[in-house]
Amino acid sequence: MTKRKNRSYTDEFRREAVALITEQGYSVSKAAASLGVTDKLLYNWKAKFEAEKSGSVLSPDERAELIRLRKENQVAFETIKQLTSDYPVTRLCSSLNVSRSAYYAWLKRPPKRITQEQLHLYVERR
């Protein structure tokens, strides 16, 4: 029994493979056979690109932007929490361009649980 190798494909290859179906009229099975990939894999690529095109799924750039914004908000919320004894929450939220409701929702949110392994990796990085 031989071990199967996982191959990786570039986004350009995936887009061109999907274009065979959507633009050139190939059937999924014919396109998959000509490219040396499985039908299921090609169906998955097609579904992913259609979801991105419709806007129901975030693109990699959008996802990176969302992560960046969440980190910025986290810093702002922690700053507000530290300064609430000296300044009103309303003024702090206004100064840091975050809504009061978002800040209070953040306060109520339970802390994120992390595994022992994640904690170990966090300690190693410091």
| Non-local CB neighbours of 34 within 8 Å, separated by 6+ positions | 20, 26
Structural tokens at position 111: 């802390």
Structural tokens at position 23: 């633009």
Q: Are 46 and 18 in contact (CB under 8 A)?
A: yes
In tens, the pLDDT along 82-109 reads 999 999 999 999 999 999 999 999 999 8
**pTM, to two decimals:** 0.49
In tens, the pLDDT along 62-88 reads 888 988 998 999 899 999 999 999 999
